[in-house]
Amino acid sequence: MRKTVFAFSALAFSTVAASSVLAQDAATSALIERGRSVAIASDCMACHRTPEGEGKPFAGGYTISSPLGPIVAPNITPSKEFGIGNWSEAQFEAAMRDGVAPRGHLYPAMPYTAYRAMSDDDLHALFVYLQKDVKPVDEAPKAQTDLPFPFNIRLSMAGWNLFFNRATPFDNALAAPAGTERGKYLVDGPAHCGACHTPRNTLMAEDASQYLGGGDVGGWHAPNITSDPVSGIGGWSDAELVTYLKNGNAVGKSQAAGPMAEAVEHSFRHMPDNDLQAIANYLKTVPAIRSEAQTAPAYEHSKAKSAGIGKLDYGIDRSPAAMVNGTSVDGEELYVSACATCHQLNGAGTQDQFYPSLTSNRATGGMTPNNLVMAVVEGVHRKTNDFTVQMPAFKDELSNAQIAAVSNYVLQRFGNASLSVSEADVVELKNGGEVPLLVKATPWLMLGGTVLAAFVLVLAAVFFWRRGKRNTLQHA
Ligand code: HEC
Ligand code: HEC
Ligand code: HEC
């Protein structure tokens, strides 16, 4: 009798234990799934990958060229020695929100100023996902971050953070998939749109007064995506915005190349439609910012201009001198030989717009030629859920002078004719765009700092010398 009771209770106990393990497993897998979707929306894999791209997710080594110099994304797999396998959740939260890792302050090349806004629930799920579902990679990235003095002093970020890392984390309820502020949450938090689309001030922090008003990322320009119908996306339908985020293309308006193509490929195209819809809805409410000089949207502007464009007076010469001897700086000749097979002689693109129109396009009709030049330099490469988009890079085929010439031809004929591109502009964009004032000024600030330090030292010396003298006098 005793035995049976014992056996029975043991059975009951193990059933209860087993079902609670099952319940725990279910809860953990739900957390892991949520963490995975947070990682996707936050695009962690775009940076924390190997330089080759495929194979070892989150192993790091990919180098980001920041204005301060190249910064390497670390291994964030659960490897105990080389990754974050030994980190506590509090350490992870400090890295994600405060930009402080066990090894010291992080540079804002890691977008912690945006991730700070993530909800507690999402950060927790992200931690569980990274620790439990990602395969540890037990090796350090080959490249190392090696910034010049004084930027190599990580502690200097502490002062910067005090002023510029100030976002308030979102409430769990507002950030939840059915939350009322979901679109704003995604834009400001995980998806960190402002990291590229908000211009930076002289101290390289996002300028809140120009929120989403258009910023520069390397040589590329991330356009104004405020609700303004002329300078922003106010004239886009919600469906166009959703399609753009999903496929990287809004026909007759814009395509995603460069860093936006990467964001679409790694992140946005994997997000659920209702999240993309929430983002579109929110963008339509962002206070409008208008560039004074702009009178019509980029795509309308150039469309109107190209209305009268007929055919060139000669057909496509498929072996023109331009490409054979590589010296022509005749923009028309270059366009006909290098571009017209796809974009057509009249710039209208192909009928299905797989090769897009250059006469109705943000990249040619906007207020900066940067993306036109960068598209010619680097080409366009983007995987979408349905197809792969490729425009060849011309950096090895065309000289800087030729890239300037063909860009000017495109601007004159199909785009914003008030813009022009010089050979020096091409060189600058290839090298990552205009150097921020802070970086340009640092040698001078340091020189100033040295002079100031010397001055203080002299003053101190005089002071102590006088005091010493007075003391000696008093003693005497
Ligand atoms: C735009 C590129 C970029 C994105 C996106 C990005 N990171 Fe980072 N991350 C970096 C860089 C670069 C560093 C190293 C910064 C440094 O050396 O100061 C870093 C550092 C870190 C660290 C500190 C690691 C250590 O060993 O000190 C953690 C943790 C981290 N990132 C997690 C994440 C997670 C999780 C995500 C997605 C939510 C993410 N990062 C998205 C670029 C990025
Ligand atoms: C890593 C930098 C980066 C991030 C992050 C980023 N963008 Fe972009 N975005 C760009 C660049 C660069 C372009 C220009 C692409 C081109 O024309 O080839 C662009 C273009 C766009 C355009 C097209 C605008 C136009 O008028 O042509 C939209 C819309 C857009 N982004 C929305 C977003 C939203 C919404 C987010 C966040 C959910 C986001 N982007 C995050 C860099 C970024
Ligand atoms: C082999 C075909 C092909 C050739 C040749 C080609 N392009 Fe493209 N171009 C494309 C494709 C494909 C896209 C991207 C379409 C998309 O994203 O949906 C594109 C996009 C562009 C864009 C938009 C870039 C952006 O960031 O929004 C510009 C500008 C452009 N091309 C200019 C040129 C110029 C100038 C030349 C000649 C030097 C040229 N293309 C040659 C196929 C081509």
Question: Residue whose CA is closest, atom 36 of ligand 3?
Answer: 339
The region of weakest confidence among 39-48, 236-245, 295-304 is 295-304
Which atom of ligand 1 approaches the CA of 106 most closely? 18
Residue 81 CA to ligand 1 center (angstroms) comes to: 17
Question: Residue whose CA is closest, atom 13 of ligand 3?
Answer: 391
Question: Residue whose CA is closest, atom 19 of ligand 2?
Answer: 222
Name residue, tokens 């060849």. 392
Annotation-wise, does 48 bind a ligand?
A: yes
Q: Which residue has the higher pLDDT, 411 or 473?
A: 411
Six-digit token string for 11? 């059975």
Annotation-wise, does 342 bind a ligand?
A: yes
What Rg value do the Cα atoms of the chain yield, rounded?
28
Please report the pLDDT score of residue 57 as a whole number. 94
| Proximal ligand: closest to the CA of 94 | 1
Binning pLDDT at 50, 70 and 90, where does residue 279 land? very high
**Does residue 198's CB lie within 6 angstroms of at least one atom of ligand 3?**
no
| Proximal ligand: closest to the CA of 83 | 1
Q: Which residue has the higher pLDDT, 158 or 197?
A: 197
Please report the pLDDT score of residue 387 as a whole number. 87
Q: What is the pLDDT of residues 358-381, one digit of tens each?
A: 999 999 999 999 999 999 999 999
Element (H, E) at 429: helix 423-430
Annotation-wise, does 221 bind a ligand?
A: no
Q: What is the DSSP letter of 95?
A: I
Mean pLDDT, range 447-463, rounded to an integer: 58
- What secondary structure, in 3-state letters, does 201-259 show? CCCCCECHHHCCCCEEECCEEECCCCCCCCCCCCCCCHHHHHHHHHHCEECCCEECCHH
Residue 369 CA to ligand 3 center (angstroms) comes to: 14
E strands present in 311-459: 380-383, 388-391
Binning pLDDT at 50, 70 and 90, where does residue 156 land? confident
Asked whether the bond before 150 is cis by omega within 30 degrees of 0, the reply is: yes
Question: Can you tell me the distance from the alpha carbon of 329 to that of 334, in angstroms, rounded to the nearest whole number?
Answer: 7
Q: Which of 225, 251, 376 to mutate to test the pocket of ligand 2 (most atoms within 8 A of CB)?
A: 225
Over pLDDT 90: what percentage of the chain? 67
Please report the pLDDT score of residue 452 as a whole number. 57
Q: Which of 42, 66, 115, 196 to mutate to test the pocket of ligand 2 (most atoms within 8 A of CB)?
A: 196
Residue 455 CA to ligand 2 center (angstroms) comes to: 48
Q: Give yes or no for a contact between 362 and 248, defined as CB atoms under 8 angstroms apart.
A: no
Q: Which residues line ligand 2 (CB under 6 A)?
A: 187, 191-193, 195-197, 217, 220, 222-223, 225, 233, 241, 244, 254, 256-260, 263, 279, 283, 362-363, 371
- What secondary structure, in 3-state letters, does 157-168 show? HHHHHHHHCCCC
Give the burial string for 400-429 (b: 16+ CB within 10 Å, else e): bebbbbbbbbbbbbbbbeebebeeebbebb
**Does residue 253's CB lie within 6 angstroms of at least one atom of ligand 3?**
no
Question: Can you tell me the distance from the alpha carbon of 250 to that of 222, in angstroms, rounded to the nearest whole number?
Answer: 15
Question: Can you tell me the distance from the alpha carbon of 194 to that of 403, in angstroms, rounded to the nearest whole number?
Answer: 30
Binning pLDDT at 50, 70 and 90, where does residue 2 land? very low
Q: Give yes or no for a contact between 60 and 72, defined as CB atoms under 8 angstroms apart.
A: yes
The region of weakest confidence among 9-23, 155-169, 222-236 is 9-23
